[in-house]
A and B are shown apart, each in its own frame.
Chain A
Amino acid sequence: MSYLSTLTPAYAEIFLLVMTSLILIADLFVTHPSKTPTYLLVQFTLLGCALITVFTHEPGVIYIFNNQFVDDLMSDVLKLVSYLAISMALVYSRRYLILRELFTGEFMVLTLFALLGMMVMISASHFITLYIGLELLSLSLYAMVALQRDSAIASESAMKYFILGALASGLLLYGMSMLYGATSTLEVTGIADAIRQGVDNKSLLAFGLVFVVAGLAFKLGAVPFHMWVPDVYHGAPTAMTMMIGSAPKLAAFAFVMRILVDGLQPLVVQWSGMLAILAILSMAVGNITAIAQTNLKRMLAYSTIAHMGFLLLGILSGGIDGYSSAMFYAVIYVLMSLGGFGMIMLLSREGFEADMLNDFKGLNQRSPWLAFIMLILMFSMAGVPPTAGFYAKLSVLQAAVGAGYTPLAVIAVLFSLIGAFYYLRIVKLMYFDAPETHVPISIQPDSGLLISINGLAVLVLGILPGTLISVCAVAVQKSLMLY
């Protein structure tokens, strides 16, 4: 009993693992293709996780499993947002996947395993735990992309995703092993202490840092390690794209925080310089290349790259302001990308993917409400007030200017100006152009309601962003208290 009670911070993960295994078996007995019982069970599991996370929360930073696993306010907040994102993604994808005969038990089990991976990444305080979480997440995602076996383009993108992802994992692992060689520990806090006390082999440390940063950049999709992003986003079924493009970004943010900010804090000068280059390149390549896209999923892929650049800008600015702005950015980004991909799935039909820009032509005439929601989402991605995206950008820029990176901030706003063009083009297509088709849009009540809430949340968070900003600030502050 006493051992079990020390595991309280990991109850959510344990519950999720148990439930996932149960669902894997229970699903065998669900024969109807709509898989409603399984689906409800999955949503129930997510709700259960959320309740457990809320009720097992304890103030302060708690380490368990011999310092391999950490529970703090930041991890709890990120986990809650992840549950929400996965739950929303499932609501959005349900009909889309049923129509494509992909709404299988495996899909849901893989989703839950991916979530488990994210949670482990979010709470890891040891390089091995971090790596296990990352691989659990990545392998689930590779498999999900490949679920659509009869589609050549999906298989191709699964292959690309797998090979490049494996390469990135290799880089990361290699970097970690070098850091281990330099500091003789794999514990995140231990590494920081060891570096502070002085490391004999400086070049080993430097190489380790470079490899780790490269591996992280791969996973985030930052330029020049971004090649996989557009192809995977484009090729995967939209529901899988949403799974890749939403909640895992939160885990990636936590990953960067744990490794760079917690573990390699003494090398902040070195890695913030690297992040600056990654950030600028990401914003440049992402925003400029997005202009040339005709496929919305591909465009959103490049926009993701640009957004990751902004997120990195927040992290490299450092301090409570910088980290909390990056966290706020990640949360808002997840909300926006869920809405964006959700909209694509909402407009798609059997045998028709609404993923070309031209499919949005004249949406205002076909459904003014959906057009309005998409308008909010696009202006939010462009960072125009009064939408949440503006405050995400504002807080990152404020952190950057506050940290003395004003030139970087100027570059960032100029690239986001370029970015505004392609978001505006969507608005232009929806409002200014005539529709190409008059096929009525059939909206399911659940996903229709959700997209409304999602869009309005972006607007409401744009009018009253104070609470969420404060939550992020407090979360980061609480979890960084040790340093």
Chain B
Amino acid sequence: MIFGFPLLSLSIWLPIIFGLLVLATGNDRNAPLARVVAMIGAILGFLVTIPLYLDFDKMTSAMQFVELSEWIPHFNVHYHLGVDGISVLFVILNSFFTPLVVIAGWKIIEKRVAQYLAGFLIMSGLVNGVFASLDAVLFYVFWEAMLIPMFIIIGVWGGPNRVYAAIKFFLYTFFGSVLMLIALLYLYVQSGGSFSILEYHRMPIPMTAQILIFVAFFMAFAVKVPMFPVHTWLPDAHVEAPTGGSVILAAIMLKVGAYGFIRFSMPIVPDASHYLAGWMIALSLIAVVYIGLVALTQTDMKKLVAYSSISHMGFVTLGFFIFNAYGMEGALVQMISHGFVSGALFLCIGVLYDRMHTRNIADYGGVASKMPMFSAFFVLFAMGNVGLPGTSGFVGEFMVIMGTVNVNFWYAFALASILIFGAAYTLWMVKRVVFGAVANPHVEALTDITFREKLLLGILALTVLGMGLYPLPFTEIMHTSVNDLLVHVARSKL
């Protein structure tokens, strides 16, 4: 706590309370008010997370800003919050994105504005809860609850096939989660009645149970990441979601799954994690290579970026399961970088979609001559997606590949193919959309980005470049936690 303020609680509850206030503004007659209230809430929500970074003690891997009080005494459930060097980054990342999606939906969303903005604010608070929870039930509550606003956002403001996508999204992720719930209950019983995640980190578990628990966790987290072969919900959800929904899905939701692996799977069942690491690496490599090839054939821009996300997240899971510092830190950097880059790409696609109402690559061509400013941003983010040195995408990919070379040259070889495929599908898309002759009268009529859009893309461009040129602020904060996590995971718990 800083100055007596429970910062983590504020970062969770401020957005939720503001979300409820926004809901209370009622129907679309009060839309301007709803937007202003939402903006204030989003910015305040981000501001309270800044001290989390500034006052963070980088020397320890212990939980910081801890809040602990009783919640459900009968089950020994606590309201237990805290962040270490890993989760603190995601709390900030998530809070950073909330104002951006509010701005992104400022003009675009015209029906049921209050509900739309409230959905994002409430979700932002819930996601912070996921990253900050140190109690398994609390974690699970936030984990599941965040599905509800996303379900509504996709289903109400989404594209033509939104209902299918929303229900698929919900049931897929719900399926994964319920098995995790059983695993958590098993741990509760085995630990003699504790839901503390840190307690689970310490307690010994026999091998068979470890494997079963790993599988249950895998179901929950792999669906969210998403890993091959449970990734099929993501392209549907992305394509149908409104721009803000896609941004949050790509930038935040996918990270929640990967975070689960390092907070739950690896430290709680380290032996099973080692035992099954081969499978995880195999699935990750399939995601990287196969999904990369799938991305190459997409005709819809959003789908292409969605598949590219799956491919990049393969990188992340591989980085975790090679169990070395380069791999894990690289994976974490990649998670944050991918948040910025894919979020920005979805915003760019949103900019185009708002003007042309199509996401088909074939409907574009020669955008650069009509929207030069936009095209500059778009190309920059595309380069970030490719992993060009100097952008944030490069740092994470380079670190993971370096870590992988230490383990197995051929893994690294396959992994490096993402650089080629990634460049191929991203640049090919850029070529067809941005460059070339003006394709049709609709493109001819395009106008360049407005101040609001410049602001959005400008902020993201700065972060992508900043992180690419000077990644130290990101890596130094996670360094101690990552090292201690690796030491912990290397120790057998049998």
Contacts and interface: CB of A to CB of B under 8 A. Distances in A.
B119 to A, nearest CB: 11
B145 A406 contact: no
Contacts of A428: 155, 163, 166-167
Contacts of B312: none
A431 B140 CA distance: 25
Nearest to A471: B74
A432 B75 contact: no
Contact of B75 (A364, A379, A398, A401): A398
Interface string B151-163: 1100110000011
Interface stretch (B88-96, B172-180, B248-256, B331-339): B172-180
A271 interface: no
A427 B182 contact: no
A155 interface: no
Contact of A420 (B162, B170, B188): B170
Interface in A369-416: 375, 379, 384-386, 390-391, 394-395, 397-398, 401-402, 406, 409-410, 413-414, 416
A469 interface: yes
B137 interface: yes
Contact of A431 (B73, B155, B178): B155
A432 B152 CA distance: 8
Nearest to B163: A432
Contacts of A460: none
A402 B182 CA distance: 11
Interface string B177-206: 011011001101100000000000000000
Given A428-B167, A466-B74, A417 B144 contact: no
Interface in B443-494: none
Interface residues of A, number: 36
Contacts of B33: none
B115 interface: yes
B481 to A, nearest CB: 28
Contacts of A465: 72
Given A385-B140, A390-B144, A431-B152, A469 B75 contact: yes
B178 A413 contact: yes
Contact of B147 (A384, A410, A416): A384
Contacts of A425: 167
Interface in B120-157: 137, 140-141, 144-145, 147-148, 151-152, 155-156
Contacts of A427: 151-152
Nearest to B193: A402
Contacts of A364: 112, 115, 156
Nearest to A421: B171
A371 B167 CA distance: 18
A403 to B, nearest CB: 9
B24 to A, nearest CB: 11
B144 A384 contact: yes
Nearest to A425: B167
B71 interface: yes
Contacts of B171: 417, 420-421, 424
A385 B167 contact: no
A473 B74 CA distance: 8
A360 to B, nearest CB: 14
B205 to A, nearest CB: 14
A432 B185 contact: no
A33 interface: no
Contact of B179 (A402, A410, A421, A466): A410
B156 A385 contact: no
A470 interface: yes
Contacts of B147: 384
B186 A397 contact: no
A379 B148 contact: yes
A406 B184 CA distance: 12
Nearest to A320: B74
Contacts of A416: 178
Contacts of B137: 394
A60 interface: no
Contacts of B73: 466, 470
A338 to B, nearest CB: 22
Contact of A397 (B27, B70, B115, B182): B182
Given A431-B152, A432-B163, A402 B174 contact: no
A368 interface: yes
B182 A410 contact: yes
Contacts of B163: 428, 432
A469 B186 contact: no
A432 B162 contact: yes
A432 B155 contact: yes
B74 A397 contact: no
Contacts of A414: 178
Contact of B74 (A384, A402, A470): A470
Contacts of B72: 391, 465-466, 469
Given A385-B144, A385-B145, A432 B166 contact: yes
Interface string B59-75: 00000000000111111
B167 A384 contact: no
B167 A421 contact: yes
Contacts of A432: 155-156, 162-163, 166
Contacts of B181: 394, 397, 413
B189 A424 contact: no
Interface in A455-483: 464-466, 469-470, 473
25 contacts: A364-B112, A368-B26, A368-B27, A375-B148, A384-B144, A384-B145, A384-B147, A394-B75, A397-B182, A397-B185, A401-B186, A402-B188, A409-B182, A416-B178, A420-B170, A420-B174, A421-B167, A424-B170, A427-B151, A428-B166, A431-B156, A465-B72, A466-B70, A466-B77, A469-B75
Given A394-B75, A417-B178, A469-B75, 5 more contacts: A385-B145, A391-B72, A394-B185, A395-B75, A432-B166
The 8 closest A-B pairs by CB, nearest first: A413-B178, A385-B141, A466-B72, A401-B185, A432-B155, A469-B74, A385-B144, A402-B189
